[in-house]
Structure 1
Amino acid sequence: QVSELENQKLDLENRLQEQTVKLKGKVPACQSFLSIFRSNEAQNEVSIKEKERLKVNTQEIEGLSNGLVQDETQDEVQSKIKQETTRLTVENMDLEEKLDMKDRIIKKLEDQIKTLTKTIEKAEAHVPNSSKEYIGMIEYKKEDEERIIQNLILDLKPRGVVVNMIPGIPAHILFMCVRYADYLNDADMLKSFMNVTIDGIKQVVKEHSEDFEMMSFWLSNTYYFLNCLKQYSGEEEFMKCNTPRQNENCLKHFDLSEYRQILSDLAIRIYYQFIVVMENSIQPMIVPGMLEYESLQGISGLKPTGFRKRSSSIDNTDTYTMTSILQQLSYFYSTMCQNGLDSELLKQAVKQLFFLIGAITLNSLFLRKDMCSCRKGMQIRCNISYLEEWLKDKNLQSSNAKETLEPLSQAAWLLQVKKITDDDAKEICEHCTSLSTVQIVKILNSYTPIDDFEKRVTPSFVRKVQAMLNNREDAPQLMLDTKYLFQVMFPFTPSPHALELIQVPSSFKLGFLTRV
């Protein structure tokens, strides 16, 4: 048993020794492994540190990168902010300029308002009863009649009336007095006022019968007074264009149709005297300007020139030119317009003047062989065209004034046309419808060539024309009646002016009257 134990012990020792040997053989390997492990572990530590360092670096780089991105974004934002700031600055400057301009305009308007307010206050100071409502009458006393006629008719000067006043204001004031007498239902007062008014107009036109401006002024006012008597008569035919307020202003108690007839007759007499005054002024200019004055050398489509002041010598008529006639016509026209003459009356007056110009020129042509030439025919036609242009400039084509020049126009054509063959004779007969046979033959016989290019009209040609005209039924007289007067027509033209708004100008010196 002991030996077994010894054997087991020995066996165990041998195993232990073997294991020791084995382990000793493994020690270097373990040491080597351990050193490698330790080396790896050290490297791992280095790697971990490096990783941590790299991580820190990476974080720093990321931080820098984010910072750069933020910087770039901020630059863009700042750039946009600068642009927007610049735009807003410019816009603000524009708005400030506009605001300044509006401030200046407001200041200017405020100044104007102050000025107008002061003007209105001054005007109101002169019109203490401005709030009073008027009914379009003027109160007067019977003993005031003479002063009214003296101040409003006899002493009134046209040039002191026409500026800044409604046309026919004296006539309207007279009618407002008529309304007052009618309102009082005083027949004697009304009759007396109408009589002194008509007598006053008769007196003023008689005293100034050669004064064109006075005749024009009182023709216009007589016409307006007549129209007021019609417009406010209460007769239906004259009330069609009235406003309701104007119809309220109609006469209530009296029929003044008899006075209307008297005024109408007076207006006709004034008109014809007015025509005579104009004719007397323009007549000396007609033959020198239309017939004698030579402007053909300068014809270039322009209006004639060469107006010279008239000499004191009566015989020195050659100083008048076509321009003299046109200037005189324009003076007549502007004066009639300033005095508010009705357009239809104005047209009739111009028509009468054009008839006179044509008739006097044609009569002079019949009497003067030296004027019966082709060249003179051209001159007359040229002058007629100036008159036609004047009508057009004044918008008077509808006056029929141009038609009154037709005989003269045909005579001018006859002087220029060829006068040799049968066809020429036929054309003359067909064209010269406004000339009588006697007048055509007279011009043909008087035709006088002024150079070698023209030929005298042969007696056989004249007889040929005369034979063709035998069947014509026309007047036997040669000369035109220069005193002929067209019948005047006074159209009814209602006044648009409200009587209740009409004020009496202080220059009329009628302060003793009272608006009602």
Structure 2
Amino acid sequence: MLRHMDHVDDEPKMHQLMKAVRTAVKKTLKKRAESVEYNALWLANMLRLLNNLRQYSGDTIYQSANTPRQNQQCLRIFDLSEYRQVLSDIAVWIYQGLIHLLERQLERLIIPAILEHEEISGLSGPSARPPQAGAGPQRLKQELSATHDHLHTFAVDQPLRLMIFKQLFYYICAYSLNQLLLRKDLCCWAKGLQIRYNISHLETWIKEHLAEYGQKSVEEILGVLKPITQAVQLLQARKSMQDVQSTVDMCANLTAMQVCKILNMYTPAEEYEVKVTREFIHEIQKKMQEKTGANPDKDPVSLNLIILVF
């Protein structure tokens, strides 16, 4: 249709068509704002349209991969660069809406699945609550698998799928870590072991479902979970003065403030652990500040990991 309008030089109709596309997409998604399927579908559609407009724009930068036949089919009169920017902005808006929707769906599952689920029996004593049915890592993995299937079904581009999962696992890590830093009842050796086991379920899911993106991408996404992994390793590690340097090295992705807060809230097991001393915490803080130099506290984990540009 655009080619025909370009051929007959019907600029008013071209403007009418492009404005209608923008209005219709926004209207549809506002009605279906809570639908992952609709957001994924229109994200894929909008990017496909944007890529086609670039490919057939006639701009030299986008013609290098075209065949001679495709270059003959490029627009001759219209310059749609302004509309391409509009469509790019809409694609970013759809992406952000999709991410926020997915994060809201995951939020209610993260604490039960990562921090509270107790699959290893006998660690928390006879008074521990039995695990809630459907509230553990399995439920969280089902939600991630459903998202993975939706993105495949609607043919969302592979780099964008990878970006979405990187954002989601960053959110899972940040939300878990923030909650851990607020709850003294989670800061003990037994809970550290339970949480580490729960995280291993996510690591297994990443290796099984995201292997198609390549080993490097899998390692990058696994790396996103390092802050929460290191936090629970800190709960399990020895905390004597001889262990200061190894503790600092182990917590490379945590800030001094986060490490010190966990240590201050740590509750030792009465049978075999000694209390964490102030000297140990001060030495940890000193070493971490020396390691980071002029910026003693790295930026805290942010939930806005990715700034998307199409």
Normalising by the residue count of structure 1, what TM-score does the alignment of the two structures yield?
0.54
1:254 counterpart SS class: coil
1:229 deviates by 0.3
Instruction: Tell me if the contact between 1:178 and 1:194 (Cα under 8 Å) persists in the aligned partners.
Output: no
Matched, 1:403 2:227: no
Partner of 1:414: 234
1:470 deviates by 3.4
* Whole-angstrom distance in 2 between the partners of 1:406 and 1:215: 30
Of 17, 28, 35 in structure 2, the residue corresponding to residue 211 of structure 1 is 35
* Whole-angstrom distance in 2 between the partners of 1:389 and 1:183: 54
Q: Structure 2 matches for 1:83-98, cutoff 5 A?
A: none
Of 267, 277, 281 in structure 2, the residue corresponding to residue 448 of structure 1 is 267
Partner of 2:105: 281
Instruction: Tell me if the contact between 1:419 and 1:461 (Cα under 8 Å) persists in the aligned partners.
Output: yes
1:205 counterpart SS class: helix
**Which of the pair has more CA radius of gyration?**
1
Q: CA RMSD in A?
A: 2.0
* Whole-angstrom distance in 2 between the partners of 1:481 and 1:446: 23
1:295 counterpart SS class: coil
Partner of 1:41: none
1:455 counterpart SS class: coil
Of 199, 202, 206 in structure 1, the residue corresponding to residue 26 of structure 2 is 202
* Whole-angstrom distance in 2 between the partners of 1:467 and 1:221: 53
1:401 deviates by 2.3
Letter in 2 for 1:470: Q
1:263 deviates by 0.5
Instruction: Tell me if the contact between 2:58 and 2:75 (Cα under 8 Å) persists in the aligned partners.
Output: yes
2:121 counterpart SS class: helix
Instruction: Tell me if the contact between 2:187 and 2:265 (Cα under 8 Å) persists in the aligned partners.
Output: yes
Instruction: Tell me if the contact between 1:352 and 1:401 (Cα under 8 Å) persists in the aligned partners.
Output: no
Matched, 1:185 2:9: yes
Instruction: Tell me if the contact between 1:307 and 1:323 (Cα under 8 Å) persists in the aligned partners.
Output: no
Letter in 2 for 1:343: Q
Q: Describe the superposition over 1:183-210 as per-residue Cα deviations: whole angstroms up to 9, x where unpaired.
A: 2221111111111111111111111112
- Listed as ranges, the gaps of 5+ residues in structure 1 are 1-176, 299-305, 309-318, 491-516
1:262 deviates by 0.6
| Change in CA separation of 1:351 and 1:392 when aligned onto 2, cut-off 3 Å | same
* Whole-angstrom distance in 2 between the partners of 1:354 and 1:474: 26
- Listed as ranges, the gaps of 5+ residues in structure 2 are 123-130
1:387 deviates by 1.7
1:280 deviates by 0.7
Normalising by the residue count of structure 2, what TM-score does the alignment of the two structures yield?
0.89
Partner of 2:125: none
Q: Describe the superposition over 1:188-242 as per-residue Cα deviations: whole angstroms up to 9, x where unpaired.
A: 1111111111111111111111211111111110111100000111112212222
Q: Structure 2 matches for 1:331-342, cutoff 5 A?
A: 331-342=146-157
1:270 deviates by 0.9
1:393 deviates by 1.6
Instruction: Tell me if the contact between 1:354 and 1:404 (Cα under 8 Å) persists in the aligned partners.
Output: yes
Of 432, 436, 444 in structure 1, the residue corresponding to residue 251 of structure 2 is 432
Partner of 2:197: 382
Partner of 1:488: 308
Letter in 2 for 1:431: M
Partner of 1:39: none
Partner of 2:277: 458
2:37 counterpart SS class: helix
Matched, 1:346 2:168: no
1:430 deviates by 2.0
| Change in CA separation of 1:307 and 1:351 when aligned onto 2, cut-off 3 Å | farther
Q: Structure 2 matches for 1:166-181, cutoff 5 A?
A: 177-181=1-5
